[in-house]
Structures are given as C-alpha cells and as structure tokens.
Chains A and B, each alone.
Chain A
Amino acid sequence: MKKDLLGIDDLTRDEIYLVLDTAEAMREIGQRPIKKVPTLRGKTIVNLFYEPSTRTRTSFEIAEKRLSADTLNIAVATSSVLKGETLADTAMNIEAMAPDMIVLRHASSGAGHLLSRICRSRIINAGDGMHEHPTQALLDAFTIREHKQRIDGLKVTIVGDLMHSRVLRSNVLLLTKLGADVWVSGPPTLMPTGIERLGVRVSPDIDEAVTGADVIMMLRIQQERMHGAFIPSLREYFNIFGMTKARVARAKPDVIIMHPGPMNRGVEIASDVADGPYSVILEQVANGVAVRMAVLYLLAGGADVD
C-alpha cells in the first residue's frame, strides 16, 4: 500500500482484495468479549472532520479504538477554522503535534491530496467533496462479496444523484476494477457528462437499469450540495427514480439493496424497501468498522514508497 489512502484510483486490484481479506479477519475481533487488540498501541490518530458525519466518524473512531490507537476528534464547529484558519495551516499545526495518521473529511475535492503533500502523517480520505470516499466503496465491496461470494461479473445498478456523489465515483472505480458490470441511472440533470468514460452503462430508464440486477445501490439526494434546480420536487423524484417494491421485483430474486446513508426515506428509497428483506443497509454499517480497521492496520506499517 502507498503512504496514504486518498482514493480507490490509487489502489490496485490486489490491494483491494488485501483490504477485503484483512477486513474478514478484523471482523472477528468485534465479536469477542474483549473487542480490542494491541496492534496500534501508541499511535495517535486525528479525525479531522470539516463536514457533518455520524456514521463515518463513529465507524473510524470505533475501528481506531479496537486497534488500541489514541484518537482525537476535531469537529470543525468547535475549532479555529471558524476563526479563519486555512486547511493547510490547521493541518500543519496538527502535524506539529506528531500524530501518525489523519482521517480527513472535507467539502473540497482533493483536500486529502493537499494534506498528503504537506504532511508526514498518513492521510486517510474519509470523503472529499464530490471526489472520492474510498472506505465506503471498500465496505460496499466487502458487503457485496459476503452475499455473492464474488464481484466479478455481477450486475450492479447505482441509482440517484450521480453528480454530487463521491460514493458513486469510488464505487464505480472499485467495481469496474474488480470486473463488475456497473449500470447507473438518474435524472439527466444529475448525470455528470462523460460518466460513461468510467466504464459504466448509462440508462435514464431506471426500470431497464435494475432489470436482472444482482445489487442495487441507492444514492442520497444531496440537497446541501445542490445550488440550482436539478429536480422539480422530491415527490416527483421519488415517482420516477425512487426504489419501490415494484422496481425491486425486476431485479434478480436474490438482489441486495444498499444505501451508504443517511437515507431520505420516501425520496430515493421507499421505507418498506429500506427495511425489507433484501436490504443490507445496516450490514454495510457493521462491516464499515472491520474494513476501516483493515485500512488502518495496512497503512500503519511501513509504506512501500515514501
């Protein structure tokens, strides 16, 4: 592995499988009476979150604690950033206190790359703007592999706000690297131009896109990133692109339904689908801890290149 995990783009197929296999072993630790191993004892990890997050931040923190690292969380709402400090200055100041790793969530694409250039600490991208969210894609792949025993050759349909989604980008990069047949669907206004160059099949017709799918992945409508009229109304969006039981019925009988969270019930997904038998949404959350433990462990050692 490289020094930092900035995106799926940097990972080879073998490295992805290494993370998934390591996560398989890490998961067992969470089932023990004492859910802790001494591996990262004495390592300091800073979780630097510039955007609100419950799932990802909690997941990283639990993963870090299960590996015995010392962790601290900087939520920007209570930090000097409000006094006008730049990301680079904040990072240099944290760096001066010699942490071993920084987990960064930021609203700007490429924020992790900036830190990677100026910090000695290892950087893990926990979501940068509309760019990448690599640990989410890894935990999604882990969940898919657990249910389907493979990723190669599966039809994976991703539906929703494709334009603003870093989860989409990381997932497409990962799934195509591992040989899945990836379909995407969503309103044309939320479809980035040139998306087919990522190696996906594009269909504006959701019913066509989900037909015969092994995996359906729903993306959240990110109203906080929408500065303009992309969709007429949430209700209309649900009617045209919402995941309903009728649409799920077009997929394979053993389809799994995924969502990276947080869900907008009744917008991109119907409640009876989200809570239904095909839904693996909470398994994704559970697997997130094991996958992040794997990433932390694999990055904590010596890097191949430095």
Chain B
Amino acid sequence: MDADRIGRTLARIAHEILERNRGVEDLALVGIRTRGVPLARRLAKAIREIQHHDPSTNLGVGPGSPAVDIPTGALDITLYRDDLMRTAVGAQPIIRRTEIPFSIDDKRILLVDDVLYTGRTIRAALDALIEFGRPKAIQLIVLVDRGHRELPIKADYVGKNLPTSVSQSVQVHLTEVDGRDEVEILDS
C-alpha cells in the first residue's frame, strides 16, 4: 500500500465509523502505541472533515451544529503483555506514556492499531482499557489484517486484508513516525 492508498483507506473507514455509529456522539478514539496513535489522529481529522462537508452526517449534535472533535488518546500496552518476564535474558521492552485525557465511561471506544496478527496486543489493550472505566462498547479498527489469529479477536473495521505466511513480516510506515507512508510485506 502506498501513501495514496492509505489515505483513501482511512477516509473510507471514517465514513464507515459515522455510518455504523450514526454520528459521533459518545465516540472516542484510542490508538495503540506506536503506530496506532497517528492512525487514530488521522481518523479524527478525517471524520471532522466529513462532518464539515456534509453536516447531515453530524447526527450526534444535530443539523447545523459545528463539527465536533472526537477525543483521541494513546495507549501503551507493554505492562499488560503476556510475554513479559518469560525469558531469562534480554532487556525489558521500553514503556511509553499512556495518555487518555478523557473519561471512557459510557463512551464507544474506537481502538486503533496498525496490524492485526495474533490478537495478543488487542487482548492486552482490552485489559488496559477496562482499567480506565467502563465503556459502552469497544470497536476495533486496523489498517492491515494479516491473519494467523491465536485468540478469538476480530476487527470491526479493516483497511486491507493481507494474506501472509507466518515467516513474513508486515511493516507499516507512517509519516509521523517513519517519515513516509507505506505498507510492505517482507520475507525473512
């Protein structure tokens, strides 16, 4: 996937979010560190732009109201991983800040990550998120679903299904983190 394709995919997901949730009421985006965070911010921007062009989609706040910014947070799941402390050697993974500057109680949380693979990251993210409150619902958005699930987890919005083999790796590059937008499959 190139930059253009990623942009159009996110625009499509933004439309799907508005359609499925009938507006932006109670919605909040939470990106999983690292690359889920810029994706969540881009989705927030895309949704704001849709509302701007087409006030009729702005069901949550009524016709003619100004577009609403969806609250956006960042979640670091490292402390909830199921593979911490399982090896006798090697340094601990780096922890980054979790920043959820709003109450998630009774919100519909849109959890965003770049690649869905085994599902273990999402399992950790659900545990982490629940400790901040009791959301009304949690929906999962991923840019790429590469298959090979090890847990019963399914995404609600998928940018692209990419069939891969376990020996391959899927690398998502985003301008905010990597200086360019690209999704590539690497053979190892």
Contacts and interface: CB of A to CB of B under 8 A. Distances in A.
Contact of B98 (A21, A25, A67, A300): A25
A240 interface: no
Contacts of B95: 22, 25-26, 297
B2 interface: no
Interface string A53-66: 00000000000000
Interface string A40-62: 00010000000000000000000
A67 B99 CA distance: 18
A198 interface: no
A28 B97 CA distance: 7
A282 interface: no
B87 interface: yes
Interface in B66-96: 76, 79-80, 84-85, 87-92, 94-96
Main secondary structure of the interface of B (DSSP, over half): loop
Contacts of A43: 85
Contact of B131 (A1, A34, A39, A304): A34
A306 interface: yes
B132 interface: yes
Contacts of A300: 85, 92
B85 A38 contact: no
A298 to B, nearest CB: 5
B127 interface: yes
A127 to B, nearest CB: 24
B62 interface: no
Contacts of B132: 32-34
A300 B131 CA distance: 23
Interface in A279-306: 297-298, 300-304, 306
Nearest to A297: B92
Contacts of B99: 28
Interface in B113-131: 127-128, 131
Given A34-B131, A39-B79, A306 B88 contact: yes
Residue of B92, B97, B99 contacting most chain A CB atoms (<10 Å): B92
A5 to B, nearest CB: 13
A25 B96 contact: yes
A24 interface: yes
B131 A302 contact: no
A301 B90 contact: yes
A37 interface: yes
Contact of A37 (B79, B88, B90, B96): B79
Interface string B131-144: 11100000000000
Contact of A302 (B80, B88, B97): B88
B98 A298 contact: no
A22 B94 contact: yes
Nearest to B99: A28
B83 to A, nearest CB: 11
A67 B80 CA distance: 10
Contacts of B98: 25, 28-29
B79 A38 contact: yes
A67 B84 CA distance: 13
A301 B84 contact: yes
B42 to A, nearest CB: 24
Interface in A1-30: 1, 18, 21-22, 24-26, 28-29
Interface of A: 1, 18, 21-22, 24-26, 28-29, 32-34, 36-39, 43, 67, 297-298, 300-304, 306
13 contacts: A21-B94, A22-B94, A22-B95, A29-B98, A33-B131, A33-B133, A34-B132, A38-B79, A43-B85, A301-B84, A301-B92, A302-B87, A302-B91
Pairs of residues from A and B, 3 with the lowest C-beta to C-beta distance, nearest first: A301-B92, A37-B79, A302-B89
Given A28-B98, A33-B132, A300-B92, 11 more contacts: A22-B95, A32-B132, A33-B133, A36-B131, A38-B79, A39-B79, A43-B85, A301-B84, A301-B85, A301-B92, A302-B88
